[in-house]
DNA sequence: TGGACGTGTCATTAG
DNA sequence: TACTAATGACACGTC
């Protein structure tokens, strides 16, 4: 395609005509008129330039924000954590913080008359974990036992969690053990510490955390990575969170969530993806007590700190299930076969198998069954997209990606409804996903399900050679190959059917047009026939008159006229006229 | 609720 | 023989 670039001032009418001609020549190739429009192309170039500058400014601003954030961080030598630098008047000792915390918790615990006070809890913990004379260190350690272990979206995002000294993990005195167990039960009856109510093994794992003081750069990098991720994707993730969160938390609870700072949003994000879901999901699978705690989480006003408290231990809940350590998400935890929900196991198995185990015909059967679980799977849970970037993932996909940290082509996990209410919320939320998914054809959904890295359009429209070449670059399973062949066959047949129907309609229209034309023609011919008949009658009339006139002028030898009943006039081919007796052959010729 | 209509799909045939 | 287009027939969803 030729390109003509002339400054607008130099474009004469002749140039414009030439451009127009060239455009008309290339219009069949899909070339737009703007291709030949220099001024428009220049405007586009300016626009791209502006976008580039805008992007650079944003990146610079982001770097400055990171620097400002780092400047506010201070390495806590005791805990190894990076903590925000607080104003001098707000700097408090760890003991004071614990004291304040105990006051707050006492206020909370006062609501539960039989529960232990927080100081008693602290004392109990000190007895359980005698950290020696270093009160500050022990307090710090205890504090970190209660403070959520930051977790969970990704191992990279785990902030530093430390214990002050080597924890003592064995209690040898049996009486003391009994007392401790009883006290622990009382301690766990505290609503705010419900999340501590986990298996003893898990508790031991919580308390027997080895002294892990990650190296500074790693924790530093983790914090930076987390902040960076939050900054970069805050808006996107918050949309997904908001969407999902609306389905999880009562609307009135949302009002109590004041997310107005980066730190809060960070905590919220970490809490949500690592804390809320694991807390909720694990609550279904561990024990009724934990379920109650989760129910309280749903029923009571949601407090981020509460989420944080539960987060650490729900994260640890994944500990006893090492087979799911590859994914640190609550969703993956929920996909554990130990899940007690039958619906879960059914849905999970169907999810895992539907897309990969069913043949095309079986998938077709499922597709044709709206109430089938497969259909719900396809509609409710967005399939992992292939390389087709045109597919916009639904909010649930975004949420799932963030919470699971799965790559786009990662293994698919399905999360069953946590509860009837949660299920309803999920259905409500996924109506949007349904609309988005509904835009995908079934073959596109199948291709996604089988993780076929081609666009359906490519599969269908590529010529045979290109198609074979494309196929030869990848290794596919039989199922994938069959699906690709079916997609190509169906796609071509679909187009053929559309063309066929189009032609059929065109033929029908053309035949109807022909029919109308023939009807018109018939009408014209009928009118013309009538005119001819009328003319013929006139001519016959004139001929009869002329005949009688001619006959009346004929006389015999005696001067008598011939009778028309006895004679008739006949004309031969040569033009001669004869008077012929009607009962005789022509014998007398009269000229 | 039945019918019209549009669409996708399958089976078959011909090129 | 493989591939494709064409087309009738059927099923399904929507109005």
Average pLDDT rounded to a whole number, residues A472-495? 85
Q: Which nucleotide is nearest to A443 (CA to C1')?
A: B8
Choose the most confident range, by mean pLDDT, from A103-107, A427-431, A442-446, A542-546: A542-546
Q: Provide the mean pLDDT of chain A.
A: 51
pLDDT at A558: 85
* Structural contact between residues A131 and A137, judged by C-beta atoms closer than 8 angstroms: yes
SS3 A73: strand
For residue range A255-313, list pLDDT tens digits in order.
333 333 333 333 333 333 333 333 333 333 333 333 343 333 333 333 333 333 333 33
CB atoms within 10 A of CB A8: 10
CA A67 → CA A63, A72, A88, A270, A289, distances in Å? 6, 9, 22, 21, 45
The Cα–Cα gap between A273 and A330 comes to: 8
Average pLDDT rounded to a whole number, residues A434-447? 64
| Strand B contact set, beta carbon < 7 A | A 360-361, 364, 441-443, 486, 489-491, 493-494, 497-498, 501
For residue range A167-200, list pLDDT tens digits in order.
333 333 444 444 444 444 444 443 333 333 333 3
Average pLDDT rounded to a whole number, residues A200-223? 34
Predicted confidence band of residue A507 (pLDDT cuts 50, 70, 90)? confident
The Cα–Cα gap between A473 and A484 comes to: 14
- Bases of chain B with protein Cβ within 7 A: 7-11
For residue range A392-404, list pLDDT tens digits in order.
333 333 223 333 3
Q: How far is the CA of A349 from the C1' of C11 (A)?
A: 29
More confident residue, A194 or A583: A583
In this model, does residue A463 exceed pLDDT 70? yes
Please tell me the pTM assigned to this model.
0.32
The Cα–Cα gap between A86 and A97 comes to: 13
Nucleotide C13, nearest residue via CA and C1': A368
- When mean pLDDT is compared across A98-102, A177-181, A236-240, A512-516, the lowest value belongs to A236-240
pLDDT at A39: 52
pLDDT at A177: 43
More confident residue, A388 or A176: A176
Percent pLDDT > 90 in chain A is 5
Which token pair is A10? 């130099």
Q: How far is the CA of A484 from the C1' of C4 (A)?
A: 17
In this model, does residue A57 exceed pLDDT 60? yes
pLDDT at A45: 63
- When mean pLDDT is compared across A124-128, A146-150, A189-193, A321-325, the lowest value belongs to A321-325
């Amino acid at each position: 395609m030729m390109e003509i670039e002339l400054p607008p001032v130099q474009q004469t009418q002749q140039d414009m005509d030439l451009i127009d001609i060239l455009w008309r020549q290339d219009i069949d190739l899909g070339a737009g008129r703007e291709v030949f429009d220099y001024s428009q192309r220049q405007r586009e170039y300016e626009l791209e330039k502006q976008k580039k500058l805008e992007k650079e400014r944003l990146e610079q601003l982001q770097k400055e924000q990171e620097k400002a954030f780092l400047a506010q961080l201070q390495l806590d030598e005791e805990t190894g954590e990076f903590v925000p630098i607080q104003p001098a008047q707000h700097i408090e000792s760890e003991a004071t913080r614990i004291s304040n915390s105990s006051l707050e918790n006492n206020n909370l615990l006062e609501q539960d008359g039989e529960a232990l006070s927080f100081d008693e809890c602290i004392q109990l913990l000190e007895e359980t974990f005698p950290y020696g004379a270093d009160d500050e260190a022990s307090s710090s350690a205890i504090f970190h036992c209660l403070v959520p272990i930051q977790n969970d979206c990704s191992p990279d995002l785990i902030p530093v969690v430390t214990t002050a000294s080597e924890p003592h993990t064995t209690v040898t005195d049996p009486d003391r053990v009994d007392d401790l167990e009883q006290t622990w039960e009382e301690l766990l009856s505290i609503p705010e510490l419900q999340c501590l109510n986990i298996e003893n093994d898990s508790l031991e794992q919580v308390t027997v955390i080895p002294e892990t003081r990650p190296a500074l750069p790693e924790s530093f990098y983790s914090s930076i990575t987390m902040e960076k991720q939050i900054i970069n994707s805050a808006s996107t993730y918050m949309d997904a969170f908001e969407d999902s969160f609306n389905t999880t938390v009562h609307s009135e609870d949302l009002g109590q969530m004041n997310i107005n700072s980066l730190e809060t949003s960070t905590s919220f994000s970490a809490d949500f993806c690592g804390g809320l879901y694991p807390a909720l999901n694990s609550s279904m699978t561990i024990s009724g007590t934990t379920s109650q705690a989760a129910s309280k989480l749903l029923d009571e006003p949601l407090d981020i700190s509460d989420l944080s408290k539960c987060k650490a231990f729900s994260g640890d809940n994944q500990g006893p299930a090492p087979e799911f350590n590859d994914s640190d998400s609550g969703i993956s935890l929920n996909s554990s076969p130990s899940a007690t929900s039958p619906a879960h196991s059914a849905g999970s198995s169907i999810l895992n198998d539907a897309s990969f185990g069913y043949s095309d015909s079986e998938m077709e059967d499922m597709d044709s069954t709206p109430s089938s679980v497969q259909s719900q799977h396809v509609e409710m849970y967005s399939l992992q997209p292939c390389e087709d970037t045109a597919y916009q993932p639904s909010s649930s996909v975004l949420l799932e990606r963030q919470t699971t940290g799965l790559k786009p082509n990662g293994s698919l996990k399905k999360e069953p409804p946590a509860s009837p209410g949660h299920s309803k919320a999920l259905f409500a939320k996924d109506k949007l996903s349904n609309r988005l998914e509904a835009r995908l054809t079934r073959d596109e959904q199948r291709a996604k399900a089988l993780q076929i890295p081609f666009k359906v359009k490519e599969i269908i429209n590529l010529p045979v050679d290109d198609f074979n070449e494309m196929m030869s670059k990848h290794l596919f399973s039989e199922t994938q190959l069959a699906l690709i062949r079916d997609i190509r066959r169906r796609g071509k047949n679909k187009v053929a059917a559309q063309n066929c129907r189009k032609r059929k309609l065109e033929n029908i229209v053309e035949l109807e047009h022909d029919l109308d034309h023939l009807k018109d023609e018939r009408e014209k011919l009928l009118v013309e026939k009538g005119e001819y008949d009328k003319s013929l009658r006139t001519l016959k009339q004139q001929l009869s008159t002329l005949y009688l006139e001619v006959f009346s002028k004929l006389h015999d030898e005696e001067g008598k006229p011939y009778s028309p009943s006895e004679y008739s006039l006949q004309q031969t081919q040569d033009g001669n006229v004869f008077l012929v007796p009607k009962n005789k052959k022509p014998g007398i010729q009269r000229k």
